Structure formats: C-alpha cells, structure tokens
Amino acid sequence: MGEQGTFETLRYEIIDPGEHGIARITLDRPQARNAQNKAMTYELNAAFDDAARRTDVKVIVLDAEGPHFNSGHDSRDTTPMSAFEHVFPYGGFDLPGEEGQMAYEQEVYFDMCWRWRNLPKPVIAAAQGKTIAGGLALLWVADVIIAADDALFSDPTVAFGVNGIEVHGHGWEWGARKAKELLFTGDWITAEEARIRGMVNQVVPRAELQEFTLAMAAKIALRPSFALKLAKESVNQMLEAQGQYTAWRAAFSLQHVGHAHNRAKYGIPVEPGTGGPRTGRKAAEG
C-alpha cells in the first residue's frame, strides 16, 4: 500500500499493486463536509486517470473521510479557472451572462462526470452520512455503490430556481415518479430506500463500510481485467441505448435556462436568499 503523489483535497493510494491491485481515492476535506471545489475536481480527474491507466490496478474505490460523503459543490470557492489545466476544449469561463456559466459547468461538472462514468475499470463508491446535490453526481459515476446504514441523499436545487443538479441522473437512479417527488420537495431518501430503488447495491453498518467495500473490490479484482471492461461497457451501452446521455445533455441545457431566467429576474444565476445551489454544507451540518 502506498501514497501516489501529493493532493490537497484527497488521498490516493494503491492497495496490493500487481495482478489484483485496487486504487483507493478518498475525499479529504472533512472540515468542508467534502464539498467539491475546483481543486478537488481536477485532483479527482488526475487520480482517476492514473488509476485507469495503470496495469497493476483492477478496481477503483471512491470513498470519503469524515461524517459525510459529500455536501455538494463548494459555493465559497473563488479560485479562478485559469489556475487549472483544463481537460476539455472549452474557454470563455469568465464571459458575462450564461455563456461563461455554461462553459464553466460543462467543463467542471457535466463532462467531467461523464468522463469518470466511462472509466474502463469498475468503480465502487462508499457513502456515509449525507450526500447532497452535486455530491450525487459524483456518487453516480460509480458502477457499484455501498451505503452505510446512516446514509441520506438529497437534491434540493429546485428551490434555487433550476431543474436539479448538472448531471440529471435522478430518473435512472430513483425511478421517474420518485425522482419528481424528491426534486419537487428536496426531501431525503434513505440508504435502504435507495437500495430498494436500485441506486445503492448494498447497505451495511457504518462501522463496516470500509471493510465491506474493500472486500468487494478485492473480490472483483480477481476477475480478468478485459472481461470487467467488457461487462461494464455492455451495461453502459444499454443505458446509452435508452437515451441516458441525450437526456442528461438536454437536462443540462434546461438547467442553464433556469440560470438565465434567474439572471434576468434577480441579476444572479440562482434564486436569492437560498444560499445558492452548491452550498450543502449547512444541510450536512444539520
């Protein structure tokens, strides 16, 4: 087991590198309830890329330090986009109106999550405590999700004047009618209900989350790497045949209709007085 590189917002290590190696990526901003700032986005991408390219890694585990998996996108982050090496061929992040906002969110949220969703190796996520708004998009890139029995999930962003988070996977993850209910109300869904609805694979006691997740990763790592890749691609292609990517893109565009409406009505991209759509920290603390 060893640390791989130096990161500010996460820990990255390879467990038992070799024929059955596991890459473990741990979100490590517990003081901010693991809210995803720009640095975390690009560090996650670097860690995912390294794990995906290594021949001594079969499976990738994504988990989180502290009481909660992720409280959403960090609205307090003021680091300019110019501080990072961009992954996609976009620009104009600082342009006025919706042009800059959409370019920024497409780079940092939408296309990044789609990229991670298509990693050629199995990704197992382990979630404890609360996962809010943008944290769901991060969780949903995983192929298998293990939840602690105290886990709760919510997307409250309709209250902020948009249709939901940038990656609109709610209908696939919760079912159409439950997705509408949870979007309309912003209510929580428990780990057990998420399991029943197919978003979560297994629910385990909080104290057993890490051990259970790593044991499943080790079991999967015994399978041939090429067969794992083909199995993942087969299921992902089924989802794409159902129109998943097209629906996500359409919902992403509608989100920016909401942002543009709020700019015209209030002068800001979100409804005023709500704290903004990327500030789940207070909810996570509650």
3-state SS of 55-90 is CCCCEEEEEECCCCCECCECCCCCCCHHHCCCCCCC
Please say if the pLDDT value at position 23 is more than 50.
Answer: yes
- Whether the Cβ atoms of residue 274 and residue 129 lie closer than 8 Å to each other: no
Domain count, the chain: 1
**pLDDT per residue as tens digits for the range 134-164:** 999 999 999 999 999 999 999 999 999 999 9
**pLDDT per residue as tens digits for the range 200-216:** 999 999 999 999 999 99
Residues 246, 280, 151, 229, Cα dihedral to 10°: 30
Instruction: Retrieve residue 120's tokens.
Output: 């050629």
Q: How far apart are the first and last CA of the chain?
A: 36
Angle (nearest 5°) at CA 93 between 87 and 97: 145
Please say if the pLDDT value at position 1 is more than 50.
Answer: no
Please say if the pLDDT value at position 278 is more than 60.
Answer: no
- Residue 134 belongs to domain spanning: 2-285
- Of 155, 180, 161, 148, whose CA–CA distance to 73 is shortest? 155
Q: SS3 for 208? A: helix
| β-bridge partners, 218 | none
Residue 192 is part of a domain; what is its CATH number?
A: 3.90.226.10
**pLDDT per residue as tens digits for the range 54-78:** 999 999 999 999 999 999 999 899 9
Mean pLDDT, rounded, of the chain = 94
Residue appearing with tokens 């590189």: 5
